[in-house]
Chains A and B, each alone.
Chain A
């Protein structure tokens, strides 16, 4: 089975590279996280979970790629390439890319509801595959940059950045042009599923205007896998279906800006979506530089978005950013963790940063004081529910973003504590989709891909107090998170 031995002569010695040393429990966690990502890989992309979410989700794939880069930089690149391969002609990246091998009734709304290849034809939906017609937060350019940094040689050899860059530019152009429904320079969402925080109390008021689809008009599949008490109510689901149906029946056209009738019944500017857009625009500048392209347009757009974010969504009295209801023309008073995510934006005024950090630790979110993990919604809010989807539970991706933001602003002790809390929760809950913010008790589905992926990312970073050794402890020369 083996060829004859080669002729060998001595050569100079070289010391093998060494892997980072992890404590035994962390090594066990890393193995478990790797198993989740390997089992949820489908050949070209990763499902969030085989039961509840058996297709490819947009922002899930971005967060998954950020962790997958530590397991396989090649798979991480493919994860993003596969998603961007389903991009529409108008630039939108659909929030679900359906796997044609999965039965229609495994998930609702299914491809025969969205009918993207026909209803979305005018907007440039792909003809050969089925997707949803709405979007999710633009984490992709940030993910692409981090994935590239994990193994620049592999990325360069495959032309990864050169291939994804124009698609990411088109994606951002769609958000900043087609979705500037308020005319103020921010991207708007037209469905509560678009910001990713599907059932947030922020949407209660604007959703109340929406006439629900009749209960008999659809059959939910999410209740086959999740506890009804943790999931959105039937009434809310009827409203989600109505909004999506109307959008589909308009051919997924976003209309002209600023917003005018007839248009969407739901249009909101969300600080989380726009903060991620700004962070990703900065990542596009890095990508452009790496490709020898002028980064200035991206930096300019990031600055413009940051100004618009401050002007339109900052609320000094609340001490955080608030959503803005474009139909009613007013801010939404509910406090969501999305209103803290602008801490990711690199050039916020110092006073705004200080106020946001106070709010993160204060009575409404209590991070590091009342709770170890950032809740998705105001702990003291009237709609707070520690177990119900996006109405209080802590999510791994939001906490990962906050950890990154805290570290960016020099809040090292708080970032270290949050990292430990995220990893402890992932380990104890079996990579739960979300957890009780007070007890870290797991809720929703288990072996959830982004929970495992982001745990892998945090495990690949140096431990508390190890920042001086960062470059030596992260794989593939990755010195930047």
Chain B
């Protein structure tokens, strides 16, 4: 049976401790944090340390910025790498597992005008390899992992499928860089999501869940039994971290997720 985590913004309560109380009662095993830019996440360290001391389990952080390690702009890219390094250090201090980031988000889509990005594929790859290597070495030094998240084609033009992420990670050659898979993006990009999980099994380090419509698991039409069955067959031991929109009564929706996932996982 998988452990589950819920992203902090989905949980009711004005402190992490109150959110944790709700999360545990709802059947979650952990909270996934959100890491804003401008070193905001680092600045939360006092709050996070208190929460950890109070027993709140916070294994992962998902970046919450609008620029990333694959940015076209050098300054923004450098800042994104600096932010991620800081987030990796913070999650390491909390005794966590790692931090998740996409290559980019909302910067360019080959499916939308003007269709051709300003940087060619070779240069995209060089930029990503450099960023992943720098972050991977930092993560290794901190004893945590950087999770690279493939996004769907409308949100990122560089890394959309697990095999693309695995290919980059293979070339980087660091165990401290793994794939952070997301069921919603996989539903759009993978011909066979379950098969893609098995094929990329050794590279998968983290998993985020939301349904076909980006809402909570159970609110869409994903074949959860197959997706979770594949993740189990792949030997995945990490959390299923809920990152989604909510449809219907939000509290009821958040509560519905752990039992839904447990039942679907069999």
Question: What is the interface of chain A, defined by CB distance below 8 A to chain B?
Answer: 1-11, 13-19, 30-32, 34-35, 38-39, 41, 43, 70-75, 460, 475-476
Complex interface: stretch among B8-16, B37-45, B49-57: B8-16
Q: Which residues B189-240 have CB closer than 8 A to chain A?
A: 191-192, 194-195, 198, 223, 225-226, 229-230, 232-233, 235
Interchain CB contact under 8 A, A8 and B12:
yes
Given A2-B243, A31-B235, A34-B233, 19 extra CB contacts under 8 A: A1-B151, A2-B62, A2-B64, A2-B244, A5-B9, A6-B253, A7-B250, A8-B12, A8-B250, A14-B27, A16-B262, A17-B259, A17-B263, A19-B266, A35-B233, A38-B226, A72-B226, A74-B223, A476-B263
Residues in A whose Cβ lies below 8 Å from that of B263? 17, 475-476
B239 CB to closest chain A CB, in angstroms?
A: 14
Q: Mark contacts of B1-42 with chain A using CB atoms, 8 A cut-off: 1 yes-contact digit, 0 otherwise.
A: 100000101111100000000100111000000100000000
The 9 closest A-B pairs by CB, nearest first: A8-B12, A5-B9, A6-B250, A16-B27, A72-B226, A34-B233, A16-B259, A16-B258, A72-B225
| B98 interface contact, C-beta 8 A | no
Total A-B residue contacts, Cβ distance less than 8 Å? 108
Chain A residue contacts of B225, Cβ below 8 A = 71-74
Binding site of A, secondary structure by majority: helix, strand, loop or mixed? loop
Given contacts A1-B102, A19-B1, A72-B229, contact A9 B251 (CB under 8 A): yes
Asked if B229 and A34 make an inter-chain contact with CB atoms under 8 angstroms apart, the answer reads: yes
Q: Which of B105, B191, B229, B243 contacts A38 (CB 8 A)?
A: B229
Chain A residues within an 8 Å CB radius of B10: 5-6, 8
* Most chain A beta-carbon neighbours within 10 Å: one of B12, B243, B246: B12
Q: How far is the CB of B142 from chain A (nearest CB, A)?
A: 23
Are A74 and B226 within 8 A (Cβ)?
yes
Instruction: Specify the chain B residue showing the minimal Cβ separation from A35.
Output: B233
Given contacts A13-B25, A34-B229, contact A19 B265 (CB under 8 A): yes
Q: Which residues of B contact A4 (CB under 8 A)?
A: 9
Whether a CB of chain A sits under 8 angstroms from the CB of B245 is yes
Q: Find chain A residues with CB under 8 A from B223 CB.
A: 72, 74-75
CA distance A206 to B22 in the complex (A): 72
B87 → chain A closest CB, angstroms? 15
- Give residues 103-133 of B contacting A (CB, 8 Å): 105
- C-alpha gap A35/B22 in the complex (Å): 36
Cα A43 to Cα B194 in complex, Å, equals 10
* B249 at the binding interface (Cβ < 8 Å): yes
Q: Does chain A have a CB within 8 A of B255?
A: yes
Whose C-beta in chain A lies nearest to the C-beta of B199? Answer: A39
B258: which A residues are within 8 A, CB to CB?
Answer: 16
A45 to chain B, nearest CB (A): 13
Question: Which residues of chain B come closer than 8 Å to A2, judged between CB atoms?
Answer: 7, 9, 34, 62, 64, 243-245
A34 to B259, Cβ gap below 8 A?
no
Q: Which of A13, A16, A475 has the most CB of B within 10 A?
A: A16
Number of residues from B at the complex interface, CB < 8 A: 48
Q: List 29 A-B contacts (CB under 8 A).
A: A1-B102, A1-B155, A2-B7, A2-B9, A3-B245, A4-B9, A6-B250, A7-B250, A8-B11, A8-B12, A8-B13, A9-B251, A13-B26, A14-B255, A16-B259, A16-B262, A19-B1, A19-B266, A34-B232, A34-B233, A38-B194, A38-B230, A41-B192, A43-B191, A71-B225, A72-B194, A73-B225, A74-B226, A75-B226
Q: Is B252 close to A, CB under 8 A?
A: yes
B168 is an interface residue with CB less than 8 A from chain A:
no
Q: Which residue of the partner chain A has the closest CB to B194? A: A38
The answer for the CA separation of A30 and B233 in the assembled complex, in Å, is 8
Bound-state CA distance A75–B192 (Å) is 12
In this assembly, does B254 line the interface, its C-beta being within 8 Å of a C-beta of chain A?
yes
Query: Once the chains are docked, how many angstroms separate the CA of A14 from the CA of B266?
Result: 18
Distance between B184 CB and nearest chain A CB, rounded to angstroms: 10
A43 vs B195: C-alpha distance when bound (angstroms): 10
Q: Closest Cβ of chain A: how far from B6's Cβ, in Å?
A: 11
B192 touches A8 (CB 8 A): no
**How far apart are the CA atoms of A41 and B230 in the complex, in Å?**
12
- Closest Cβ neighbor of A4 among chain B residues: B9
B246 (CB) vs chain A CBs: closest residue: A6
Assembled-state Cα–Cα distance A35/B258 (Å): 24
Complex CA distance for A3 and B255, rounded to whole angstroms: 18
The answer to whether A10 and B1 touch (CB under 8 A), given A5-B9, A38-B230, A75-B226, is no
Among A6, A43, A70, A73, point to the contact of B192 (Cβ < 8 A): A43
* Docked pose: A445 CA to B202 CA in angstroms: 26
How many Å lie between the Cα of A11 and that of B248 in the bound state? 13
Residues of the A chain whose Cβ atoms lie less than 8 Å from the Cβ of B249: 11
CA distance A88 to B258 in the complex (A): 45
- Among residues of A, the one whose C-beta sits closest to the C-beta of B210 is A2
- Residue of B1, B22, B246 near A18 (CB, 8 A) is B1
Closest to B263 in A: A17
Q: Residue on B with the closest CB to A7?
A: B250
A19 contacts which chain B residues (CB < 8 A)?
A: 1, 262, 265-266
Q: Which residues of A contact B7 (CB under 8 A)?
A: 2
Give min CB distance, A131 to chain B, whole Å. Answer: 24
Q: A18-B1, A34-B233, A38-B195 are in contact. Are A8 and B251 (CB under 8 A)?
A: yes
Give the distance in Å from the alpha carbon of A476 to the alpha carbon of B224 in the complex. 13
Looking at A3, A38, A43, A475, the one whose CB has the most chain B CB atoms below 10 A away is: A38
